[in-house]
Amino acid sequence: MAQLDVDAFLQRFRDRATAVQERGIPPLEADARKAFIAQAEKDHLDYALIGSATWAVEEGHLVLRIPLSG
């Protein structure tokens, strides 16, 4: 099993959040366009939340602390 580099793991989530935010919208029409945008907003939120986490190992568990303000 590969060694987990938590800092690199969190960086990948920050990179994904940036990629979602910067990608263009493909040529979609009406409902498909709305669905694509809604999913991109959810993806960005998910990736940004994980990417903003601090971490610790507690009692053998990786604990991510995600700030909910700011």
Q: What's the pLDDT tens digit per position in 12-23?
A: 999 999 999 999
- Round to whole Å and give the CA distance between 9 and 16: 11
d(C-alpha 24, C-alpha 21), whole Å: 8
Least confident range from 1-10, 24-33, 39-48: namely 1-10
**In 1-70, which ranges are E strands?**
54-58, 61-65
Question: Which whole number is the average pLDDT over 34-47?
Answer: 96
The mean pLDDT of the chain is 93
Q: In this structure, are residues 35 and 43 in contact, taking their beta carbons and an 8 Å threshold?
A: no
Q: How confident is the model at residue 2 (pLDDT cuts 50, 70, 90)?
A: confident
- Closest among 6, 20, 4, 14 to 49, alpha carbons compared: 14
